[in-house]
Amino acid sequence: MMRIAIAGIALETSDAGFRVYFEQLVQGLARRDRDNHYTLFINAEISDRIGVVPENFEVISIRVPRINALKLRVSLIWEQILLPRICVLRTFDVLHSAVSMPPLLSPTKTVVTVYDLMYRILPKTQTTAYRAYWNLLLPLTLQRTEQIIAISKNTQKDLLTHYRISPDKIRVVYPYVRSQFSPQSEFKCREVAARYGLPEKYVLYVGTLEGRKNLPNLIMGFALARKMGLENYHLVLVGKKGRNWEEIPKIIEKLGVKQNVILVGYIAEEDLPAIYTGATLFAYVSLYEGFGLPVVEAMACGTPVMVSNVSSLPEVVGDSGALVAPQDVDSMAEEMKRVLTDKEWHNDLASRAIRRCKEFSEDRFVDDVLCTYDDVASATGTGYRK
């Protein structure tokens, strides 16, 4: 039996992508593993999202205040100073830092999940403080940790490009698509759409409204597609406001599509499968992604997807989605028109999408994570499925 600690102290409710990954990790392990003992260190802010855990899980909920004047998370003190002391007292076999960086002075063997290198690839999309923090600590973390989990081959490639790391130290473990994401009934789609005031025909985006998501170009592509005969369609943008989101209403106003672009804001997670299923096309033309979980969720609901041909997105969709250059507005418009008007192409993409999602299974994810823990604890190189 291994004693495994999983750190999620830095996690906040607003950290959508990190939070989903953490929930996937904990809930997947809880469903599959009764042999090892787990201790979860989590921010009290998200403790109610963990759900019921089995007897071999211990949850330590930590209230993490923020010093607003300095924009400093006290969670950093917990992670770098207090957590190592706890590890000395509790004697864990493995410490997995699933949403941040492991303690530099950890007495325990560590695993760290790396999502992307946004602060290096698109530095202007991140705050100065965020860039400084990661530039300072990540290189040290990567050298000292026993194993790095990259959530895509693209993230693995970026790590090898920007840091001196042995390839053997990095393992690609894809996140999985949760079981609730599946094609929904027509009745359910209509009921949920009516509750949020959504139109009958819409192109969908789900994610944070921020600069790196390339939403101004998506809106321009949509506006152009409307002029090509798609006047009956709307563009629905679902998600919270992020950094530089102010560009979005400005471009909507400038292009004269205020009546055709709907900013929904937050949608309850239980309603997302119906929102995905009801869309005719899911568009995700980001400038950079570590993985792009909303794309897989949409595909699992049987919705055709159009994504950027950069970073991890081609890797995620394979031949099951339409690829466009993120700066090529004309290509976006042409591809929207093709998917929305060519029924055979639309149905082909929908079928391929559902088949593709079988590659992102919970069983594979949990098996690979458990093999990583076992290899680190036993200091061997066996057990991981390449």
Residue ranges per domain, the chain?
A: 3-176+361-378, 186-359
Domain 186-359, CATH 3.30.360.10 — does that match?
A: no
Scored b (16 or more CB within 10 A) or e, 354-376 reads bebbeebebeebbbbbbbbbbbb
Report pLDDT for 385. 34
Let me know if the fold of 3-176+361-378 is the same as that of 186-359.
Answer: yes
**288-310 pLDDT per residue, tens:** 999 999 999 999 999 999 999 99
Report pLDDT for 12. 77
In one-letter notation, the amino acid at residue 382 is: T
Mean pLDDT, the chain, rounded, equals: 91
pLDDT-wise least confident of 4-13, 191-200, 281-290: 4-13
Could you tell me the pTM of the whole model?
0.92
Whether 9 has a pLDDT exceeding 50, the answer reads yes
Give CATH superfamily name and number for 3-176+361-378: Glycogen Phosphorylase B; (3.40.50.2000)
Q: Say if CB 157 and CB 345 are below 8 A apart.
A: no
**354-379 pLDDT per residue, tens:** 999 999 999 999 999 999 999 999 97
Higher pLDDT, 224 or 81: 224
Please report where in the chains the tokens 């002029």 appear, as a residue.
Answer: 227
